[in-house]
Amino acid sequence: MNQTITSIDGIRVGHVHDHTALTGCTVILLPENTTASVDVRGGAPGTRETDLLAPECTVQHIHALCLSGGSAFGLAAADGVMRHLREQGVGFDVGVGKVPIVPAAVIFDLSCGDARAHATAEMGYQAAAAANSEPVAEGNVGAGMGATVGKIFGAASWMKGGIGSIGITLPGNITVAALVVNNAFGDIYQEQTGRIIAGARDQSGGFLNTAGFLRGGTEIPTFAGSNTTLVVVATDATLTKSECRKVAQMAQDGMARAIKPVHTPFDGDVIFVVATNTKPAPPMIQIGSTAAYVVAAAIERSVQCATALPGIPAVNTPE
């Protein structure tokens, strides 16, 4: 049974990654007439085409989202997604042709693998071409290939992050789902127990508790890692751009419950919300609260599904 973001009719996801360079790209293809908005909370975002997601802007629908590794270099992957969509005749009709609308965001993974490598336009094209409606592959895939968490002391303390996705169905057969690329500065908490399940480790191998450590007034490195958690929340309910924006704001609570500290000056945290508009919407408070829940759950899955790399331990596998 599919309980990921592709359980929503018309949404397809494709991953492409480089196992050696430890970077990659994840593309979410969306059905016709999908509305979207965004909420950016991190202090170091790397984004493209997010301004047009403001409710007052002209374009009402988007065609895909591109999430990539490689810091600002990785934004080039969206070029490949646009090329693929143009070949399929998909885009915003401007009279002389169609322009695909592909907002994008990146994580910083240059310090994990090859610092010269990043997601490319060709990766974006391949990920778009490979997109399908099968349950989303999670862990060390796509944009999550080089993702790490718990980075107050960089490679000396980090653990493996990655991709996570989960969805739930509300009364009225409305689905709310999330896909995350978890590359957080902070530690990852399990919401049900309140305990750290992945994050910065101390010299004994236990969890440092980054938030508590920072409250102690201890100096942190001048450049304490480069991070970001990217989130896509999707629903098949009918939402306007303004309503998508509000859901994105409420969904940030899920990020705050699962990552501590979050939205730091070193993170580029972004939440996109997309609505495929095929079913009547339940009350906004229900969608927004559910969005926060699935975001926290998907963040948890992102570390539970990740596997260790040399020198980078994971929750369920040794180094």
- Kindly report the CATH number assigned to the domain that includes residue 153: 3.60.70.12
pLDDT in tens, the chain (319 residues): 899 999 999 999 999 999 999 999 999 999 999 999 999 998 899 999 999 999 999 999 999 999 999 999 999 999 999 999 999 999 999 999 999 999 999 999 998 888 888 999 999 999 999 999 999 999 999 999 999 999 988 888 899 999 999 999 999 999 999 999 999 999 999 998 999 999 999 888 899 999 998 888 667 766 555 789 999 999 999 999 999 999 999 999 999 999 999 999 889 999 999 999 999 999 999 999 999 999 999 999 999 999 999 989 999 876 5
Q: What is the model's pTM?
A: 0.96
Indicate the number of domains in the chain.
Answer: 1
Q: Where do we find the tokens 């049900």? A: 192
Look at residue 318 and tell me if it is in a domain. no
Q: d(Cα 111, Cα 84) in Å, to the nearest integer? A: 30
The tokens describing 225, both together, are 């890692």
Look at residue 311 and tell me if it is in a domain. no
Look at residue 195 and tell me if it is in a domain. yes
Q: Where do we find the tokens 């509000």? A: 246
Look at residue 205 and tell me if it is in a domain. yes
Look at residue 250 and tell me if it is in a domain. yes
Look at residue 147 and tell me if it is in a domain. yes
Four-CA torsion 119, 123, 128, 129, nearest 10 degrees:
-170
Note the pLDDT of residue 271.
98
Sign of CA dihedral 288, 295, 40, 256: positive
3-state secondary structure of 257: helix
